[in-house]
Amino acid sequence: MQWTKVLGLGLGAAALLGLGIILGHFAIPKKANSPAPQDLDLAILETVMGQLDAHRIRENLRELSREPHLASSPRDEDLVQLLLQRWKDPGSGLDSAEASTYEVLLSFPSQEQPNVVDVVGPTGDIIHSCHRTEENVTGEQGGPDVVQPYAAYAPSGTPQAVNAAKHGVAGVLVYTDPADINDGLSSPNETFPNSWYLPPSGVERGSYYEYFGDPLTPYLPAVPSSFRVDLANVSGFPPIPTQPIGFQDARDLLCNLNGTLAPATWQGALGCRYRLGPGFRPDGDFPADSQVSVSVYNRLELRNSSNVLGIIRGAVEPDRYVLYGNHRDSWVHGAVDPSSGTAVLLELSRVLGTLLKKGTWRPRRSIVFASWGAEEFGLIGSTEFTEEFFNKLQERTVAYINVDISVFANATLRVQGTPPVQSVVFSATKEIRSPGPGDLSIYDNWIRYFNRSSPVYGLVPSLGSLGAGSDYAPFIHFLGISSMDIAYTYDRSKTSARIYPTYHTAFDTFDYMDKFLDPGFSSHQAVARTAGSVILRLSDSFFLPLKVSDYSETLRSFLQAAEQDLGALLEQHSISLGPLVTAVEKFEAEASALGQRISTLQKGSPDPLQVRMLNDQLMLLERTFLNPRAFPEERYYSHVLWAPRTGSVATFPGLSNACSRARDTASGSEAWAEVQRQLSIVVTALEGAAATLRPVADL
Amino acid sequence: MQWTKVLGLGLGAAALLGLGIILGHFAIPKKANSPAPQDLDLAILETVMGQLDAHRIRENLRELSREPHLASSPRDEDLVQLLLQRWKDPGSGLDSAEASTYEVLLSFPSQEQPNVVDVVGPTGDIIHSCHRTEENVTGEQGGPDVVQPYAAYAPSGTPQAVNAAKHGVAGVLVYTDPADINDGLSSPNETFPNSWYLPPSGVERGSYYEYFGDPLTPYLPAVPSSFRVDLANVSGFPPIPTQPIGFQDARDLLCNLNGTLAPATWQGALGCRYRLGPGFRPDGDFPADSQVSVSVYNRLELRNSSNVLGIIRGAVEPDRYVLYGNHRDSWVHGAVDPSSGTAVLLELSRVLGTLLKKGTWRPRRSIVFASWGAEEFGLIGSTEFTEEFFNKLQERTVAYINVDISVFANATLRVQGTPPVQSVVFSATKEIRSPGPGDLSIYDNWIRYFNRSSPVYGLVPSLGSLGAGSDYAPFIHFLGISSMDIAYTYDRSKTSARIYPTYHTAFDTFDYMDKFLDPGFSSHQAVARTAGSVILRLSDSFFLPLKVSDYSETLRSFLQAAEQDLGALLEQHSISLGPLVTAVEKFEAEASALGQRISTLQKGSPDPLQVRMLNDQLMLLERTFLNPRAFPEERYYSHVLWAPRTGSVATFPGLSNACSRARDTASGSEAWAEVQRQLSIVVTALEGAAATLRPVADL
């Protein structure tokens, strides 16, 4: 309750300020065709900040999460229409909007034959059945549109003990332990709707596909005419039947297991000591020679899934795109995931669209809004989009901003991104009030939760790095576009939950968000303001606010880790880090010199073409780290700094991974040759990147 | 003789015109810092055309070809210094110039142990030895710097008959038949120095490496620190000892062979009927049981090879590069190959450099001159350069212009290039007088020798397509930069020689060029003027003179070939060309619409940023045809329209090749799946290309 009061005050002040700014702004008459603004207009920025409305975000969320909207379902298609309607609204829409559809391979449980997990007694009779649906606690967990919990892309089948004996494992049951998701709590009166914790019947759905993108059309857009890999040749699906269950059912199985005690780190909060099996213990609930029978009836289906795209045309540089997106599809109602992000997306597009339609403002560069389809199955809509428009996007996109779940919790901002976006996020968040108690900026609040000591800046909020958890993955890893993911999240001193507890369950509902995660929606508003400010700064600033020299810290830390943790090993195998040291130093020097040239130019009155050339250097820096031949076994991953790292040393991933594979082989092995190749790939990328930062007419 | 008279007249007229233009030009005072020109300055163009001097080109050639300058030899390094000196000249040099060196794997014959081809009699005595050097006909075929004829990268070894029996072929002797190179002539009095034909002792050297670029560092620049593939793992070297010989020696061997008659198409002009062996005929010059003994002592060596780069900084868009290059290294004196090109390069840089140093002119965009090293061994210098600066070049290069051998013969211009460069070459050549008799433009002369009927333009000169015969290969195939190769060449009604007869021999000398290929050097001048005009048009025109809609004809012809020659076959296997038809139509429509938008804009007074955006669409179109994953087995070849075509149908190479492999397999085979994949790759590329041509803010 305290939160909403403070929020009410904050909103009032912001609204007044915004109104003043609007009046001030309109007092100076502007023609719609007046000369395009040269630079970020702080008055417009303030207007946007003031108009982003927590209440409207809440209403967006209520509508978006009213029904389950699984990818390609009728309700998912209804939301496509809702987005189109909003983005085509004459008073608050964008310049244009359209849906584009791909035909993609999804995986669903059978509606006729539910997936089944039973305990079968020695005579073949069913002694115990796991729940096939979640308990209808709030009235929203029932009905035909709530998809049965399942592991998407897990093959169908009924594993038999004979197979189990032969292959070791015949099927997999997955559950989330209350120790990991509920801070140990598990009883109904301690869980939703009585708290934010997961009810005992809650089951986390998910995609079990190893890669991302449509499984049948790697590197090709999944348009109907595209070549599709034969199903028999698809890789990345789980090899054996798999089914998720709730922790209530998991307790019934796990607490009755026989055998040796599981390791201490495997123990959880189900109220018993976990054992490894095989078989049930003789003094338990089931006869000792009972079996667990798992029947999975998942089906692969080619389905139409849509992206929705909308654009605000840039006034001066329409061929530079600031791309902002989130997925639309959910597992069930998906109030948090992803509708909290979509609610923000709609409010941002409304505020900007309104200014646009009034003729008050048009950005220097184009702003593209995207609502992706089928993300939950493996980032499919965004990946197909990048496959279809690879060159156009790679040539022209300034940055990609992702807001998926906008609010995990209401404690602090959390940003993942590549170094060039750090400074624009810092600039934005320093100017926005934090929704919490006290008079802190989002930046000042953020730094209390996530921080690091930067050799350049001192104590600053720390950005996380981008994995492949949401739709930014194809943009950063496949296209080399500077990307970020923005959300509000937890106070880690208050919970150790892996993620908000109802994640991917039928309990992720509007009320859940409204009551437990962000009452008053001030954190949604904070995310909207942060993203909005970042969008405006990227689209309107004369000089692109991408600070490429911030990559120097990353490179230096990767280099130091390589020297400290791999240097001796490499030396034993006569591999020198010298060329890498030189390359990092060259990058640092060129990035710093470019920064100085920009500073100098900013003091003068540079002409637009001059600035465009510098901006191209900034925009395209991230591309120089791509090498599509660096990791042939990794689908889509071409970024030599952010590819998946399996090696333990926090350095360049290719180097780290190759070293961890070579470690136990002799000098001269192919594994050590691969270490040298990976080192050369990184050195070439860094030298090439440095070359693009030099004055453009230097040889 | 007639040629030189006409040339004298032509030169005089051009010089007068040029002088007038210069006077006119200088009458209007210009400051060095005057506002940069907005567009191509026709007066400057005329000045440049007038100042390109045939006599100076001749003197350049005399100096360049004075000594053999095999890649990485001392004389090759001397020429590096010569280029640097010219390009750093205070009165006629460029803004800056520098050499950059790679450490690359070359292959040389042993100086201690020459490669040997002998006929060995039954008792082991040598009955006959092939020549180890060419006959010293003009005094330039002797001396230590004339490298012994050899097949670069052929392994060393002395094949034995026992191996021959086991493996079929144990070694290879290569010669050029007088039927193929000499229009059938072969006697000393019919050949050089009495005519342009190859003397009997002449031997064509060459690289027998299958790929291009440094063999040890594929995809990495061959800087000293780069990872090098273990020699045992290098692919692309010839598997067995190989040695080239002259046709005089070939006659001694071939005309004494026993066995069945070779097929009619294998017969040549050595004055005997060619037989297939095995063994020598009993009534010939050698005992019937003689053997041919081949000993190859080639050695692989890591050598330093330099590129020389020079730049004229663009006044307005310095980050757009017009790149012009030729290799510097030769097999022996290399007057034709490559010094005729380098002589033109030096004259072009002198004329432009002089205007630059006088402050008369500075181009809108940057012009980069390149002298590549080690081309003869496999385009090594240019390839390493593209590997080192991949992103910088790919982002910024407007076009690559290659002039290797500038004059093969003096009949007509010959241009190879991708469609976007056609129109700029046409514009240039329509304005330059042809050196031949009559008052024709180079264009009008050209159309008499090479022409085609264009559905758009009617009868036009036909451009050839770019293979991998010179340094343009990495630019077009690996980087997707619109490229062209310019030369003067044969009247095919007068000779059927495969190439100029002394190609890659010690007879390719200054006198050979001066007497037989281009007396008076007017064809050199014509090439210099053509290249110079193309460079100026590309670097100075406000709107880039790259006509992307000229790709439509290529796509249409590829499509028609697919429909006519593959349509029925594809239909049998249920593969539709429909999506390809749609994609081609979409490309045509978008390219045409873009052309119209440009025309409209050209009539107004567009601002530089608007034009820059359009120019980016034009410049980057070629990049959209790259797909580094299209042909995984083809090193560097990523251009889906110009990759090597082995299939017989003149259509998209991936489709053609996949069809020719699938033809005899059943529907559903992997080969047919590959046909479908290749079809989708092309469709995706064309759709993606069309998307980049649309108005930039269209979704």
Tell me how close the Cα of A376 comes to any Cα of chain B, in angstroms. Answer: 24
Pairing of strands B206-207, B151-152: parallel
What is the average pLDDT across A183-207? 97
The distance of A609 to chain B (nearest Cα, Å) reads: 6
> What is the C-alpha separation between A30 and A40, in angstroms, rounded?
16
Chain B residue numbers with beta carbons less than 8 Å from the beta carbon of A687 are 221, 388
User: Which residues of B are annotated as catalytic?
Assistant: 375
Cβ contacts from A onto B, under 8 A: 157
User: Distance (Å, rounded) from C-alpha A367 to C-alpha B246?
Assistant: 67
A395–chain B nearest CA distance, Å: 8
- Indicate yes or no: CB of A317 within 8 angstroms of CB of B613: yes
Backbone angles phi, psi at B682, to 5 degrees: -70, -45
Task: Kindly determine whether residue B227 and residue A679, on different chains, have CB atoms separated by under 8 Å.
Answer: yes
Nearest-by-Cβ selection for B220 from A96, A684, A695: A684
Give the E-state strand segments of B165-266 in sequence order: 172-174, 206-207, 242-244
Judged by CB atoms closer than 8 Å, whether chains meet at B616 and A679 is answered as: no
What pLDDT score does B124 carry? 92
* Spatial separation of the C-alpha atoms in residues A661 and A430, rounded to whole Å: 44
- ω before A519 within 30° of 0 (cis)? no
At B358-388, the pLDDT tens digits run 999 999 999 999 999 999 999 999 999 999 9
For residue B208, what are its two tokens? 């027998």
Q: What is the DSSP letter of B488?
A: E
A616 and B319 within 8 Å at the Cβ level: the answer is yes
Distances (CA, A) of B397 to A46, A202, B321, B365, B544: 41, 57, 5, 10, 12
Instruction: Find the residue in A nearest to B387 (Cα).
Output: A684
Put simply, the answer to whether B318 touches A96 (Cβ < 8 Å) is no
Phi, psi of B505, deg, nearest 5: -115, 175
Distance, CA of A108 to CA of A70 (rounded, Å): 10
- Given this model, what pLDDT does residue A38 score? 76
Is the omega angle on the peptide bond into residue B263 within 30 degrees of 0, that is, cis? no
Tell me if the domain spanning B548-693 has CATH number 1.20.930.40: yes
Q: Is A10 helix (H, G, I), strand (E, B) or coil?
A: helix
Q: Do B311 and A623 touch (CB under 8 A)?
A: no
In chain A, % helix, strand, coil (3-state, to 5) comes to: 40, 15, 45
Model pLDDT, residue A635: 95
**Longest alpha-carbon distance in chain B:** 88
Chain B residue closest in CA terms to A221: B684
Domain boundaries, chain B: 2-98+301-540, 548-693
CB-CB: which of A220, A576, A609 is closest to B612? A609
> A366: which chain B residues are within 8 Å (Cβ-Cβ)?
696-697
pLDDT reading at B451 higher than 70: yes
Å from B285 to nearest chain A CA? 53
Among the partner residues B98, B392, B609, nearest to A608 by beta-carbon distance:
B609
Phi, psi of B221 (to 5 degrees): -70, 140
Give the gap in angstroms from C-alpha A668 to the nearest C-alpha of chain B.
Answer: 10
CA torsion B150-B186-B491-B533 (nearest 10°) is 30
List, for residues B142-174, the tens digit of each pLDDT value: 999 999 999 999 999 988 675 554 567 888 999
Residues A399-422 have pLDDT tens digits of 999 999 999 999 999 999 999 999
The answer to whether the CB atoms of A684 and B388 lie below 8 A apart is yes
Residue A629's nearest CA partner among B190, B283, B218 is: B218
- Helix (H) or strand (E) segment spanning residue B410: none
pLDDT band at A516 (very low <50, low <70, confident <90, very high): very high
Distance (Å) from the C-alpha of residue B97 to the closest C-alpha of chain A?
Answer: 8
pLDDT at A60 over 60: yes
Q: Could you tell me which chain B residue has the CA closest to the CA of A321?
A: B697
| Residue spans of beta strands (DSSP E) within A122-272 | 126-129, 151-152, 172-174, 206-207, 242-244
SS3 for B593-648 is HHHHHHHHHHHCCCCHHHHHHHHHHHHHHHHHHECCCCCCCCCCCCECCCCCCCCC
Confidence band, pLDDT 50/70/90 cuts, at residue A437: confident
Residue of B nearest to A384 (CA): B684
Tell me the chain B residues in contact with residue A613 when contact means C-beta distances shorter than 8 Å. 317-319
Is the pLDDT confidence value at B349 over 70? Answer: yes
> Would you call B395 and A623 a contact, using CB atoms and an 8 Å cutoff?
yes
pLDDT of res. B239: 92
CB-nearest to A699 from B96, B396, B607 is: B96
Q: Which residues have C-beta within 8 Å of that of residue A123, sequence separation ≥ 6? A: none
CATH code for the domain defined by A549-693: 1.20.930.40
Strands B299-312 and B365-372: antiparallel
Check: CB of residue B619 under 8 Å from CB of residue B483.
no
Asked if pLDDT for residue B14 goes beyond 80, the answer is: no
Mutate to test the interface with B, among A96, A98, A102, A219 (most CBs of B within 10 A): A219
CB contact under 8 A, A608 and B613: no
Indicate if the pLDDT at residue A164 is higher than 70: no
Closest C-alpha to A346, from A88, A152, A10, A549: A88
From A18-27, A83-92, B188-197, the region with the lowest mean pLDDT: A18-27
SS3 string of B292-321?
A: EEEEECCEEEEEEEEEEEEEECCCCEEEEE
pLDDT digits (tens, 9 = 90+) for A384-394: 999 999 999 99
Residues of A in contact with B683 (CB under 8 A): 225-226
Q: Which residues of B touch A578 (CB under 8 A)?
A: 225
Percent pLDDT > 90 in chain B is 91
Would you place residue A162 in the very low, low, confident or very high pLDDT band (cuts 50, 70, 90)? low
Pairing type for strands B96-108 and B317-327 reads unpaired
Q: For position B366, what pLDDT does the model report?
A: 98
- Tell me A411's DSSP state: S
CB contact under 8 Å between A220 and B684, yes or no, is yes
C-beta separation of B346 from B121 below 8 A:
no
Is pLDDT of B428 > 70? yes
- Give the separation between CA A695 and CA A691, rounded to whole angstroms: 9
Average pLDDT over chain B reads 93
Question: Across the interface, do A319 and B681 touch by the CB < 8 Å criterion?
Answer: no
Reference A330, options A602, A552, A67, A650; nearest CA is A67
Considering only CB atoms, A395 lies closest to which of B317, B391, B620, namely: B620
Can you tell me the mean pLDDT for B566-583?
A: 97
**What kind of fold does domain A2-101+303-540 have according to CATH?**
Aminopeptidase (3.40.630)
Question: pLDDT of A287-315, one tens digit each?
Answer: 999 999 999 999 999 999 999 999 999 99
Distance (Å) from the alpha carbon of A38 to chain B's nearest alpha carbon: 13
Contact call for B225 and A395, based on CB within 8 A: no
Residue A496 carries which side chain, given as an amino acid letter? S
**Is pLDDT above 50 for B26?**
no
Question: In terms of CA atoms, which chain B residue is nearest residue A608?
Answer: B609
Q: Which residue of A has its CA nearest to B480?
A: A391
The CATH class that applies to domain B2-98+301-540 reads alpha beta
List residues of A with catalytic annotation. 375
d(CA A375, CA B345): 55
